[in-house]
């Protein structure tokens, strides 16, 4: 199932979208969907990370190296 939404973007951004979509041979809606998907995934990751970092720090996990030590 899909839905249609209407957004307003600045003229300069619209021109950049037009150029990019044409260059990559993509529909503008595909470009926007992909960008929105990426943005939402990043926001969800950030929310999860913000929730878990304090708990990790309580356990002495501050860096990627600390994580690797725990899982190795």
Q: For residue 17, what are the contacts with CB-CB under 8 A and spacing of at least 6?
A: 9, 28, 31, 32
**Would you say residue 62 lies in a domain?**
yes
**Would you say residue 5 lies in a domain?**
no
The boundaries of the domain holding residue 66 are 11-71
pLDDT in tens, 13-70: 999 999 999 999 999 999 999 999 999 999 999 999 999 999 999 999 999 999 899 8
**Would you say residue 28 lies in a domain?**
yes
Domain count, the chain: 1
Mean pLDDT of 6-17: 98
* pLDDT attached to residue 9: 97
**Would you say residue 58 lies in a domain?**
yes
10: alpha, beta or left, given left = phi > 0 and alpha = psi -120 to 50?
Answer: beta
* pLDDT attached to residue 29: 96
Name residue, tokens 């899982």: 71
**Would you say residue 1 lies in a domain?**
no
**Would you say residue 40 lies in a domain?**
yes
* pLDDT attached to residue 14: 98
User: Encoding tokens for residue 36?
Assistant: 């929105």
* pLDDT attached to residue 3: 95
């Amino acid at each position: 199932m899909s839905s249609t939404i209407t957004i307003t973007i600045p003229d300069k951004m619209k021109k950049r979208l037009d150029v990019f979509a044409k260059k990559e041979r993509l529909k503008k809606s595909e470009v926007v969907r992909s960008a929105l998907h990426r943005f939402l995934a990043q926001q969800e990751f950030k929310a999860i990370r913000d929730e878990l970092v304090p708990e990790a720090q309580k356990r002495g996990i501050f860096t990627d190296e600390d994580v690797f030590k725990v899982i190795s």
